[in-house]
Amino acid sequence: MAILNKIREKTVVLILVIALALFAFILSGLLDNKDVLFSKSPNTVVTVNGKDISREQFMAQVEARQNPNATQSQIMNQVFDAMVRKAVMEAQYDKLGLKVGREQMRDLLKQRYANSPQFLNAEGVFDESLMNQYIADLKKSSPQFYQRWIEGEKEIAANAMQQNYINMIKGATTATVAEGELEYKLENDKVDIQFVQIPFASIPDSTVSVSKSEIKDYMTKNSSKYEVEASRNFQYVKFEEVASKKDEDEIQDALITLIKGREVYNEATKETEKAPGFAAVSVENAEDFVNENSDAAVKYQDRFVFVNNLSPNLKDSITSLKVGAVYGPYKDAQSLKVTKLLAVKKAYDSLKVRHILIPFKDSLNPAPGVVKTELQAEKTADSILAIVKKDNSKFSELVQTMSSDQGSLANEGVYDWHPEGTMVEEFNAFEITKNVGDLGVVKTQFGFHIMELLDRKSPKEAYKLATIERKIEPSIETEDAIFREASNFEVLVGDKDFQEAAKAENLKVNPVNTVKVLDENIPGAGPQRGLVRWMFEDGTEVGDVKRFKTTDGYIVAQLTKKNEAGLMNVEDASVTALPEIRKEKKAKLIKDRVSATNITDLAAAEKQAIKSALAINMKNPTVAGAGLEPVVVGTAFGLKEGKTSRLITGNKGVYMVKLIKKTPATKLDNYQSFANQVSTKKATEINTRLYNALKVSAEIEDNRANTVQ
């Protein structure tokens, strides 16, 4: 009872003790996991000057930029660079209070859309009211496209602000007359010299030893050259999914059966019937037969082709076939094919035409902002036709101001030599039925074309073909065998030396070094983000092995080295450090053994020739017979005529120089033109170097490796 009373009396103390114990437990856990305390939220992709860009913002931009010709990682890198640039530049705009005003925005839009047909009036002049009406209609009818327009305006404004900012910097980056005079003298002050060069190559590399500690010291002194990101080294073997000879033979047999005809089960009659083969298929049914029996990605092409457009495997054979005959199976690249000749006719293989395209709002793929009705577009086309009939020289000018066809705009509306059947049906009909020089208006699904046939060559024989194609691919049986082979090797190297195991299986080992955390493409294996992520996972250790799928099979990879961020390892650094250290040591050896104080004695002692170099200047410090040697040239300019330098360490050896003659540049009354040259050079460098300088000075925290997979 007494004990219970004491506990009750000390309740507050007890609670404090328990609380402190819990706090200590929690704090120790946080300290063990420092990321919880000190790292950015895993939802933050990058922070620029304290401004966070979230994963949601980042991925929305990635989604908007989807492109079948780029990998996901490539798109992400593009978005990252664009968002960082935007954040870096906006920080500068905010400091200066830079904005794009309403009047400037109107001028910018006018410049951007000055030649857009939908905003041109009947006289072909930009009409702001048409643009304003278009924006108002867009806002009412299509919120999605209106938002795109707003985003486009923001982009125009951002580009204008960037240009305003750059122009301000350029305005403050002028060159003085004194700088112009210096530029003139650097180029036109000249010296003539005699020199003796003792090449570093005169001392064999094998006689100059360099220790690892010396390389480390050199790396420390030149740390900026040898700082590297964290990276990984690994090695892999490849198991390609390649069709076997058996697979290819089976595809060929299947095509032969298609030519001859095959037995099929008729659901209606419940009987097996003989289906007609490719050889017996009529012209009318050829399209359906090809589409049913070719690979899914290969469709029947309803057009005539010329001999020079046929593959080398087909040219001679097709020209000797009779209509209705079949050629094949034959191999073409990575496919087996059979081809049937359906028809032969005379056709034009070379047509040349120019046109002006006037779209209307219901035509196919009109540019954003096309508001003309079909009737309005037709009237515009007829008006243009009347103008060019009266004065054909205006055609090119009207292409630039009125045509919406981006494919021919840069070529003054001309579609150069192309074969018959290349264009849409109505366009093609004009080309093959009109006479050279004829003008006319043709309506197609894209709008109204004001056309002129410029030239046409004599018709040649053309062939209509039906081709069944089967890609030579590994069968499921072959794929299963390759999978088993890769899996067995993965297990095999679990307790064996990777190199020896690969050699025993006649597999080539591919070493890959310095893969960084955000890399994607692996030499010889293509995009492999999964592999890169695995190598950087906390649980992956040197020696671990794992199998990965590739676009054409599998690779089995082994992590061989972890390279931490900081100074690169001595072995890698030695590639560039070793020659520089040897050069320093050779220079010291040469200087220590030389006692001569003039070039004649030095040449005799070192068995080197005395060479001459004339009209050397400081702007291009190149010495004839020695190459680029700025230190040597600078030393020469510091000498008085007739005086000899001490030994100089240059890029390619140790030198002694005697100044023979110094010719100062002729004095000018005014150096403003050279000051202008310096000013222009500075302005050019601003365009290329300004952003990089701002980026280096910005505080950028890249968290992609933790937030983006």
Q: Is 701 helix (H, G, I), strand (E, B) or coil?
A: strand
Residue 38 reports pLDDT greater than 50 = no
Query: Among the listed ranges 33-37, 87-91, 284-288, 526-530, which one has the minimum average pLDDT value?
Result: 33-37
pLDDT digit string, tens, across residues 435-450: 999 999 999 999 999 9
Mean pLDDT of the chain: 89
Percent of the chain's residues with pLDDT above 70: 93
On the CB side of 173, how many CA atoms lie within 13 Å of its CA?
18
What are the backbone angles phi and psi of residue 527, rounded to the nearest 5°?
-60, 125
Query: Among the listed ranges 4-8, 81-85, 258-262, 524-528, which one has the minimum average pLDDT value?
Result: 4-8
pLDDT given at position 14: 42
Please check whether the two domains, 190-228+571-663 and 351-456, share a CATH topology. Answer: yes
CA gap 124, 400 in Å, rounded:
11
Residue 379 reports pLDDT greater than 70 = yes
Count of beta carbons in the 10 Å neighbourhood of residue 163: 10
Count of beta carbons in the 10 Å neighbourhood of residue 216: 15
| Closest listed residue to residue 254, CA positions, set 212, 294, 303 | 294
CA gap 519, 356 in Å, rounded:
47
Fold that domain 190-228+571-663 belongs to in CATH: Chitinase A; domain 3 (3.10.50)
Q: Which residues pair with 663 in a beta bridge?
A: 190
CA distances from 375 to 141, 361, 371, 394, 447 (A): 21, 11, 11, 24, 11
CA distances from 420 to 340, 405, 416, 439, 541 (A): 21, 20, 12, 18, 63
CA distances from 105 to 94, 152, 154, 155, 348 (A): 18, 12, 10, 11, 50
Give Rg (Cα) of the chain.
38
In the predicted model, what is the mean pLDDT of residues 170-193? Answer: 93
pLDDT given at position 120: 80
Q: Which residues pair with 232 in a beta bridge?
A: 515, 562
Strand residue runs (E) in 307-375: 326-332, 335-347, 351-358
Model confidence at 707, pLDDT cuts 50, 70, 90, reads low
Residue 30 reports pLDDT greater than 60 = no
In the predicted model, what is the mean pLDDT of residues 324-333? Answer: 92
pLDDT given at position 16: 53
pLDDT given at position 258: 92
What is the residue-wise DSSP string for 529-553? HHHHHHHHSTT--TT-EEEEEETTE
Q: What is the DSSP letter of 66?
A: -
Query: Among the listed ranges 59-73, 81-95, 492-506, which one has the minimum average pLDDT value?
Result: 59-73
Residue 429 reports pLDDT greater than 50 = yes
pLDDT given at position 26: 44
Residue 3 reports pLDDT greater than 70 = no
Choice between 525 and 262, residue whose per-residue pLDDT is larger: 525
Residue 424 one-letter amino acid: V
CA gap 172, 174 in Å, rounded:
6
Query: Among the listed ranges 95-99, 192-196, 486-490, 637-641, which one has the minimum average pLDDT value?
Result: 95-99
Model confidence at 668, pLDDT cuts 50, 70, 90, reads very high
In the predicted model, what is the mean pLDDT of residues 667-685? Answer: 92
Structure tokens at 15: 């609670």
Q: Are the C-beta atoms of residues 115 and 401 closer than 8 Å to each other?
A: yes
Give the number of residues written for the chain.
709
CA gap 434, 554 in Å, rounded:
58
Model confidence at 709, pLDDT cuts 50, 70, 90, reads low
Q: Are the C-beta atoms of residues 95 and 165 closer than 8 Å to each other?
A: no
Model confidence at 292, pLDDT cuts 50, 70, 90, reads very high
- In words, the CATH class of domain 351-456 is alpha beta
Model confidence at 654, pLDDT cuts 50, 70, 90, reads very high
Domain range list for the chain: 2-38, 102-172, 190-228+571-663, 231-242+475-562, 245-347, 351-456
Q: Are the C-beta atoms of residues 465 and 340 closer than 8 Å to each other?
A: yes
What are the backbone angles phi and psi of residue 388, rounded to the nearest 5°?
-75, -25
Cα 636 to the center of its chain, rounded Å: 46
CA gap 119, 106 in Å, rounded:
14
What are the backbone angles phi and psi of residue 698, rounded to the nearest 5°?
-75, 155
| Closest listed residue to residue 402, CA positions, set 107, 108, 125, 109 | 125
Which residue reads 């020289």 in tokens? 393
pLDDT given at position 272: 76
CA distances from 128 to 132, 155, 368 (A): 6, 20, 16
In the predicted model, what is the mean pLDDT of residues 544-568? Answer: 94
pLDDT given at position 34: 43
What is the residue-wise DSSP string for 482-515? HHHHHHHHHHHTTSS-HHHHHHHTT---EEEEEE
CA gap 583, 652 in Å, rounded:
8
